[in-house]
Structure 1
Amino acid sequence: MMKKIHLLILKSFIRPFIVTFFIVMFVLLMLFLFKYIDDLIGKGFEWYVILELLAYQSAVQISMAMPLSMLLSSIMTFGNLGESYELVAIKAAGISLRKAMMPLFILVGLFSGGAFLFSDYILPIVNLKMGALLYDVRVKQTDFLVKPGIFNNTIPGYSIRAKGKSPDGKVLYDLMIYDHKLSNTASNVLLAKEGYIYNSPDNNTMILKLKDGVRYEDSRARKAKAYNPRQQFTRFYFKETEQKFDMSAFAWKRTDENLFKSHHAMLNLRQLRLYTDSNAVKMDSLRNTVQREIQSYYFYFNDYYQPKNPITGIPEVNYTTRFTEVIPKDSRSAAIGSALSQMRYIKDVLNTKVGEDSFYRDKDIRYKIEFQRKFTLAVSCLLLFSIGAPLGAIIRKGGLGLPVVVAIIFFLIYHIISTVSEKAAKEGNIDTFWGMWMAIFVLSPLALFLTYKAATDSSLFDIEQYRLRAERILAWVKARLGIRNRKTAEPPKSLHDNYTLSP
């Protein structure tokens, strides 16, 4: 019987988990496309480049899709079991909820272990390839595209305008081309009634075949700026000619991935330890260098003007109002000027080194945050399952209605706490350990509380129960107010009320 119950719970969990996982992945991919849609449109990418980018992004989004789908599927699973009274039947058979859920705990533990291995071994490689490809996608220039009536400046050294074009974009009408390669002025202008666009066989050159046009060229732009009375202004009429444009700026080039290997998101645990130690050595060396460089400029003025104690070797300072009294008057101005110049030097040294020190300190924080992130992904899956499973058993509602709303609310709480604390850790306001584990520490008591309520069959989310309690409280308040009103409505008694007069 236990085996059948275990199979029932596992099947009830795996199906919603797979469905919700792919739904969440699809939503996150759509958000990614909306974010980078301007970087992808109009650049002439091949279809496999877009698919490669989406594949890498899908792997990157597992770190967010896994915990959310774990929470949502656990609420749906136990909500369905509670709504169909299967949990009641399991408890009526004398099997506790903890024993019935034991295989599910093992499965979730395997998922969490797999998430940890994924974040340590696979995710750094995916981040490396994703970062390099996304950099190339964003850097690549847009393919040559002419809009009617608007100058196009994407080709270096040229400005092209066409009043109209054919539906397929291959034929342009009423062309005007400015050539700026030799000068910033409009010294070379070409006008044509029609132009046909096609590429060379190697796709490195765009050829524009022009018909019925004229070229205006001013030779002053190529010569000295001195005045020359014999300036030449050339005009060429043509029936048909070709204008070639270098398209190397639009060529697709892949950046070497080794340039991104030292980024904190591209490192595993072993590499993060190594980079953290080497960065700490550089930071300590920088601070020791600054200390040695400015230490020689800190001394007492009275070291030079007051005799030292023969026993302690410390100068005896004797002044009443200012420390400059220990300096002779004829040397006081020189001493103050020397002090000011040394203070300026110390200030310049510190201002120069503070930027470098901040750079190493930020790198140290990033390495430590990424180190903790490897573990928080696995633990977050366990935490959100521990919240979702008892929550579904208490709510006893299945489907994609109320469970989705509740799951989104709890995930938003977790995500907001995690994001705020991580940002505080990046800014150095709190320790990186607390910044990355804050959301888990805050929500862990909630998971324990919900687990206790589910094990004791608590009606925590029963609206009818809260309505009855509210009615009892309202009735008690009305009763108390009614007693007080009756007491205040009775007239006060006097001594004459206790006596009656005989006739």
Structure 2
Amino acid sequence: MQFTWRYMDELIGKGLSLDVLGQFFWYMAVTLVPMSLPLAVLLASLITFGNMGEQLELLSMKAAGVPLIRIMRPILIVVIMVTGTSFYFQNFTSPQAQISMQTLLFSMKQAQPAVEIPEGVFYNEIPDLNLYVQRKNAETGMLYQVIIYKTDQGFDKAQIVLADSGRLEMSEDKLHLKLDLWSGTQSEAWQQGGVSAMGSIKLPFDRETFNYKQVIIDFDSNFALMDKNMLNNMPQAKNMRQIETSVDSIESSLDSIGQRFYDDVKLRWYRVPNLSEQQTKSLARMKAVPFDTLLSSMSPDRLQTAKTRAAGDIRSIRSELEWKSVMSGEGDSNIRRHWKEWHQKMTLSLACLFFFFVGAPLGAIIRKGGLGLPAVISVLIFIFYYIIDTSGMKMARDGSWNMIYGMWISSAVLIPFGVFLTYKSNKDSVMFNSELYAAFFRQLLGLRSSRHINRKEVIINETNYDRLPAEIDRLREGCHEYAQAANLMSAPNYFHIFFRHTTDSRVEKLGEQMDKIVEELSNSREPQVLAETNRLPIIYAHAHISPFTSREANMAAGIFFPVGLILWARIWRFRLRLLRDLRQIEKTCMRLNLIINTLNKPEQAVTEEAEETLPTHKKHRRREWAIAIIVILLAFAGGWYTYRHFRNNRPDKPIKTKKTIPTSIPENSSGRTLPMPKPLKQS
């Protein structure tokens, strides 16, 4: 489809027959067979072994002792035959199909388009003629208000035809167009004295008035197929032996051209004469003269003339070398295109075999058949292969990479990938188990996982409630002692983490002890016991000590400070999580003991014991709530006091003063007290 849309604009409107289009699509499909066979082998092998895995057929054969390699052997023989067929097809059939398709495509491009006169615009698809039609009648084929510009004799002798109506028809031999015109005029400018009619000088012209006129136009609408021998030199049209012969001839031709260039430059620019033996001996006896001495012996005019001549010679040499480099570059590019086709005939053939060793084990691993998941996976793998193959091919064709490296890089990627998948599938590896990847990323990112213990329908070993309280108390006391002794709230020591790797056996023992209790409690029939058991966290015994179990890996991570800093922060996070988990274990153990004691003793005794042995964590919780409430109240009071103090002492707040109205004016210089004047009334 991509190839079809690439040339669609050049094929539409040419009036091509169905047999020509059928040949074009047939040859196009034949040329695409070498690229489609690897994808077909990949998809077929993936679907086949996916169906066998989904129907448990592979499992049955492996249970009988048949390895995967032996299961793949019959299909491998078929794939080898397909690989050989692909190689034969590319070496013998595909070159002939390429010649036929390119010949047909070039002939279709050169075909004359079908005459379809539009309305209101000039139509220029007819050679040496521009036709304008204002209106046309599709039923009768009549054209109205016709304007014709004929330039078959050149633009200087252009003919202009105006007609009231006309009709355009094709001759029976499809070599000419007949244009019948009615009620019009024909004008043609005269050419006098070599003066162009396009100039500003007004020239006389010949005008003819007619009632009816017929114009015959040369227009070959027959489809003519070009000679196939014109395309025999294409690299795509040759087999491997012909490519080797062509490369040898091109290289010998380039060598002869290069030798001729060298001889020409040596004689023209370096001026190396052909000397006899006597002249060579006499020249050897001469003494060399310094270049500066020669320059000083020349007159200024002669020196300037020599410099000008040398500069002109340099420009001539440069332009000539640029032209010769283009010629040699085209020859080298032609050689690379030939070698590209030579290598591609083998890489595409072997890709069928390589894709089988990718698709068959991959189908056995995913165990999904049909056209759903296998089709998606095969298309993604093939796109990845196609990108690598196309990139390497273009780099090798342009000369950026070595030809062998560029053409075989896709195969170099497929081979180890296929070997790896075959090995994993033969060893019954669970590569595509989502739970394994989820557990890996959960551990890498430090995501918490919880327990999911459900009530069992059939219980063989009942839970021993008499022995469990003592074990739960030991677990709680061990967690409490470790939390106080380990000081998990503080930041870890960077040097100890990466350069003094140790193990924490106490956490491992606590984890093993808790797992035994969980295993015992999982056989309980009480929903409350199962609910409290699910609240017990899962402890990572080594995540709070060092990032890796290997000493060398820890030292390498510590040396690279940015990586070590991230891992150090991760370890601190796990230390804080371990502290929270230990506290959660203590609380859960207290609740479990309370529930178990409720199940073991009568209600009254349990009530008295519960009152006597009230868990201390509840008292601590009440104390913490009381302290938190007091702190909140104090913070609120302090904030309110600060707000009031700031509001009363704002610098922009006006100062309130008590207004006093004087009853008299102070004494004047004479010592008399003056009375207050009466305020004036406002008008």
| TM-score category, normalised to shorter length | 0.7 to 0.9
Equivalent residue number for residue 187 of structure 2? 217
Q: Between 333-342 and 352-361, report the one with greater CA deviation.
A: 333-342
Distance in 2 between residues matched to 1:439 and 1:169, nearest whole Å = 62
Q: Does 1:354 align with 2:354?
A: no
For the residue of structure 2 that corresponds to 1:48, the secondary structure is helix
Distance in 2 (alpha carbons) for counterparts of 1:215 and 1:131? 46
Q: Following the alignment from structure 1 to structure 2, what is the Cα–Cα distance between the partners of residues 198 and 48?
A: 24
Q: Does structure 2 conserve the Cα–Cα contact (< 8 Å) formed by 1:369 and 1:433?
A: no
- Aligned with 1:329 (options 297, 300, 304): 297
Task: Give 3-state SS (helix, strand or coil) of 1:191's partner.
Answer: strand
1:380 is aligned to 351
Q: Which residue of 1 aligns with 2:41?
A: 70
Listed as ranges, the matches of 1:101-500 within 5 Å are 101-167=72-138, 170-182=141-153, 184=155, 187-193=159-165, 195-211=166-182, 213-218=183-188, 220-221=189-190, 231=204, 233-238=206-211, 240-248=212-220, 250-295=221-266, 297-298=269-270, 315=287, 324-325=292-293, 327-330=295-298, 333=303, 336=307, 339-473=310-444, 474-475=447-448, 476=540, 481=573, 483-484=575-576
Q: Quick one: distance in 1 between partners of 2:251 and 2:578?
A: 79
Structure 1 pair 214/311, CA: closer, same or farther in 2 (3 Å)? closer
Contact preservation (8 Å) 1:82, 1:397: yes
Any idea what the Cα deviations from partners look like across 1:87-124, whole Å, max 9, x if unmatched? 11121122111111111111110011011111111111
1:168, CA displacement in angstroms?
Answer: 5.7
Give the AA of the match of 1:484. L
Question: How far 1:63 sits from its partner (Å)?
Answer: 1.5
Compared with structure 1, are the counterparts of its residues 53 and 463 closer, same or farther at alpha carbon in structure 2 (3 Å cutoff)? same
Secondary structure at the aligned position of 2:224 is classed as coil
The CA deviation string for residues 383-437 of structure 1, in whole angstroms up to 9 with x for no partner, is 1121111111111112222212211111111111111111111111122111111
Counterpart-to-counterpart distance in 2, 1:42 and 1:61: 26
Change (3 A) 1:413 1:208: same
Q: What does residue 87 of structure 1 align with? A: 58
Q: Is the radius of gyration larger for structure 1 or structure 2?
A: 2
CA RMSD, Structure 1 to Structure 2 (Å): 3.2
Q: Higher mean Cα deviation, 141-150 or 159-168?
A: 159-168
Q: For residue 80 of structure 2, what is the amino acid of its counterpart?
A: G
Residue 252 to residue 206, structure 1, CA distance change in 2 (3 Å): same
Deviation at 1:339, TM superposition (A): 4.7
Q: Secondary structure at the match of 2:400?
A: coil
* Aligned-residue offset at 1:472: 4.7
1:360-399 Cα deviation digits (max 9, x unpaired): 1111111111111121121111111211111111111122
Gaps of 5+ in 1: 1-29, 301-307, 489-503
Corresponding residue to 1:49 among 7, 20, 32:
20
How far the C-alpha of 1:484 sits from its partner, in A, is: 3.1
Structure 1 SS opposite 2:122: coil
Aligned residues, how many?
Answer: 443
Deviation track 1:192-215 (CA, whole Å, cap 9, x = no partner) reads 23x33332221112223344x212
Q: Is the contact between residue 50 and residue 367 of structure 2 (CA under 8 Å) also seen in structure 1?
A: yes
**Identity among equivalent pairs (%):** 30
Aligned to 2:277: none
Distance in structure 2 (CA, Å) of the matches to 1:315 and 1:299: 20
The answer to whether the Cα contact below 8 Å between 1:309 and 1:316 also exists between their aligned partners in 2 is no
Q: Are the aligned partners of 2:149 and 2:160 in contact in 1 as well (CA < 8 Å)?
A: yes
Q: Give the TM-score normalised by the residue count of structure 1.
A: 0.80
Quick one: which amino acid aligns to residue 252 of structure 2? V
Q: Aligned partners of 1:83 and 1:364: how far apart in 2?
A: 50
Deviation of 1:190 after TM superposition, in Å, equals 2.3
Q: Determine the C-alpha separation between the residues in 2 that align with 1:405 and 1:468.
A: 26
Cα deviations by residue, 1:422-453 (Å, 9 ceiling, x for unpaired): 11111111221111111101221111111111
Write the letter of the residue equivalent to 2:427: T
